[in-house]
Amino acid sequence: MNHLVPKFCSQCGSAKITQRIPAGDDHIRDVCDDCGHIYYFNPKVVVGALPIWQDRILLCKRAIEPRYGKWTLPAGFMEENESLEEGAMRETREEAGARIHQLALYTSISLPDISQVYMLFRAELSDLNYSAGTESLEVQLFTEAEIPWDELAFRTISATLKHYFEDRKHGVFPTYTMTLKHNRSPAPPVTTTQINHDT
Ligand code: ZN
């Protein structure tokens, strides 16, 4: 479970909320014992962008916990009533004071341990007008050699940046679907088995 159990039922005000599997269900839910209301909690979508300017990438230094002072791509929880693209543009505007265009979905990363899904877009930075928003200490363009790999906030961000710099060598950018779990590295990419035809 990755949510706080409600203290009081939002339907009837009762404090008698228990965790159990309702009839016909196969997940443990928070259920109000007085009115029978069942609470459903679903994963959150984190939407963001990898803003590109020529050979450089725009990163934000976090001014909030978790990972205060670490670098990240502009990203945050998707809001209700917006599309993924609108969310990525909004987060880029809010955290980096920047405008982006030509968005292309790049990495979709499931984090089942914390019930989150990241959806990150490659995007062109529209101009060099950027500035730190309230959730950023600073915003800066980095070449590949300048990326502070040890100071990145999240594995989702380092995985996305690694793919990007690798793909940039070939100029081909597929969309990646990944799952990251606690204390486990991502599954290695499928590679072609070497066959020795001489034996
Ligand atoms: Zn109730």
Q: What pLDDT digit, counting tens, does each position of 106-149 carry?
A: 999 999 999 999 999 999 999 999 999 999 999 999 999 999 99
Output the pTM of the full model. 0.86
Domain 44-179 adopts which CATH fold?
A: Nucleoside Triphosphate Pyrophosphohydrolase (3.90.79)
Helices (H), 62-183: 84-96, 155-170
Q: Break the chain into its structural domains and give their ranges.
A: 9-41, 44-179
User: 196 CA distance to ligand 1 centroid (A)?
Assistant: 68
- Spatial neighbors of 131 by CB under 8 A, at least 6 apart, are 96, 97, 139
User: 116 CA distance to ligand 1 centroid (A)?
Assistant: 28
Say what the pLDDT of residue 192 is: 37
Question: Are β-strands 56-62 and 44-53 bridged in parallel, bridged antiparallel, or unpaired?
Answer: antiparallel
User: 34 CA distance to ligand 1 centroid (A)?
Assistant: 5
User: 2 CA distance to ligand 1 centroid (A)?
Assistant: 21
Say what the pLDDT of residue 183 is: 66
DSSP 181: -
Domain 9-41 adopts which CATH fold?
A: Ubiquitin Ligase Nedd4; Chain: W; (2.20.70)
Kindly state the tokens that stand for 121: 């877009």
Q: What is the pLDDT of residues 43-82, one digit of tens each?
A: 999 999 999 999 999 999 999 999 999 999 999 999 999 9
